[in-house]
Structure 1
Amino acid sequence: MKTTIAVFFGCRSVEHEVSIISAVQAMRSINREKYDIIPVYVDKNGAMLTGKNLFDIENFKDIDKLCKESEPVTFIKDGSGVKMHFLSGGLFKKPKDISIDLAFPVVHGTNCEDGTMAGYFEFLGIPYISCDIVSAAVGMDKSVFKDVLLKAGLPVLDYFTFRKREYLLNKEKIKKQIEENVGYPLIIKPVNLGSSVGITKVNNESELIDACDLAVSFADKILAERAITGLREINCSVLGDPDECEASVCEEPFMHDEILSYNDKYLGGSKSSKREGPSKGMASLGRKIPADIPTEKSEEIRDISKKIFKAIGASGVVRIDYLLDTNDNDKVYANEINTIPGSLAFYLWEASGLKYTDMLDRLVEIAFKRQRNRDNLTFTIETNILSGVSFGSKGAKGSKM
């Protein structure tokens, strides 16, 4: 009997379109002899839709038409498990509920990858592929992520965090604190966005306010971080759970700007480039795999990657991005983690000898293992303290137990 997997993608995020690309790639690669796939598109208003037309990325060129042709759904739990429930149609025309065995979120960014969706799945009590609530939230908040790494003794650059409100109330004060704690050149970025959205490199005082103004238009919490002048970016993926994990080979993405931009990642590189056909997501980015670095440096990065994975209690597949300072003997700094990476970092695992289809099988195994462990925990107590309570006019506070 096949396992029924609901693949969630889209969501209320600035990385909405990137999620669509990653999800379509994944759905094409899942072994259909083992699994029945149900696409669940979450539109930019948070509505959940399903339909066979969601398998074809060409249909997403006209989102309004696609949504009208799709079926609105929600998810419910009863005594037999979790089911996808259709919201449209009359009493006699409405499709039957579909039982779901596993949830597979292929989502990026806020309101989904940040632990929000993991919380929804845990509330339903359904096994799901990806990090749990805590590790997803830590991974999304770049400031908290760096705090955890510092405590674990792992390498990060000097940084300073500030809030949108305090910045708008006193820009000069925040500017001075950034200069004192970080110094120029530096990077300004929203703490909870990915795909390089809202990120600016700042070389001097005159550029700082504009960079901060841009960042606070995307988020309430902003990170200022020291910039490396002799920069190489190296990425590594980790697959597994907190008990056991393995690291992929390393890659070096090619940058057309001083920092790896959204344009580099998803629009084919230079600003003047013109794409034909749908993007292939992170898989289309120019890169060198394996990265052209010494074996010792590669092993150092892979070892740090596994330590980071365990430090935040991650699960599933992640990608960790590093900065190498070529002016300081290629010193390694952990930059950020993507708890649901673009294209699910399948290209790193294929270069490591693991086929995409086999990687997806492994993710399913990891998700079911975690659910089995959770099922062995006690979440309720078989008692009803209310049965012996007499509620007076003062309510529960005035009752005698």
Structure 2
Amino acid sequence: MNLDLIIHNWRCFDSLHLSIPDHSFAIVDDNGSGKTTIISAFYSLYTGQSWPMTKFSESLKRNSLYYGLITAYPDWSLTGQINSNGRLINKYQKPTFSSPQQSFLSHPKVFTYLPSDNTWLSSSRSIKLATLDNLLSLCYGEKYVSALKQLSKFVKAKNELIKHCNVKNQHIQNDEILANTLSDKVLEYSEIIWNYRFAFFTSLEEELPKFQNWIQNNSLPIHIKYSIVDIHGFKKQKLKNKENTLYNWSQLWRKELIVGKTMFGAQRDDFVFQINQTSVESMFSRGEMRLIVLFIKSFTQEILLQNNPNVSIYWLLDDVFNELDNKRELIFFKQVLEKSQFYIITSTKKINFKIPQYSLNELIKK
């Protein structure tokens, strides 16, 4: 049974009524036709979140005051409206039940691929971490998500305290006591995040030799250099899962007042994929960079299935097969997509493996 989806003021469309097939398929159409608009709406409808690396305000059609993603199910929708203060207020609701007769009401884990993922490993530290955290949130669930939220809360509080002290230009003992308390909390939640990230990178590095089969290349082994920042503001490689370190918060506090921000915590981590101490982005082609990102995401899928064998996995892949030859398309299909319950691919060219393919016009409900 197809999913009726009505889109209002979402990205490039004023209003559109779609019939989404309940089987995996590809949208094959020209650039600028609105393919990404469709899968971004599908993603937000399932997750209640904005399309990765964007905000809901960026999906609101220009000069519009509201948007709506409406289904035939009365209690499944995502809407947003600009309030009197000019702020976009979003409202998301989805049923908590599912049944075989209502397959679209399942609650899957949704993986994505965006063309910008091609440059993920060479992006800024903040973008790299944001994408990594999105993946680890999928495979490790609420414990990881909660640690991220708590870390963000205490880093924000500490930054506000630093700003407060610098504005009044005096640093009294009570301020330092509060700073030490906040530093303890930053450390507490950073250690949780460090342990998850370290375990992920350690397991991933053990699997990376399999990536050579994906790229048909017997290159040197790929290593992951995962770095955290110590209390002096210097990077150091994370070498083991737990480190017993005594922290001189007073010394850190003095430096943070000079710099004007929190200098310590998991929010300042970094990682590099290297071959013989040279970053892979300096050695791989664009197609190979695309494949290594897909390999990392497929590895995340494997961890998720190990932790929860009954979970449903959906993939939304935007222009994923550009720069991949037929053999590598088939490898990705066999290694990843066949293990998922549902996927939508967008492309400007016909896809070579067997999958239903529609133009955007064919998905519009007449």
Q: Give TM-score scaled by structure 1 length.
A: 0.29
Higher-helix-fraction structure: 2
Bigger relative contact order, structure 1 or 2 (CA pairs below 8 A, ≥6 apart): 2
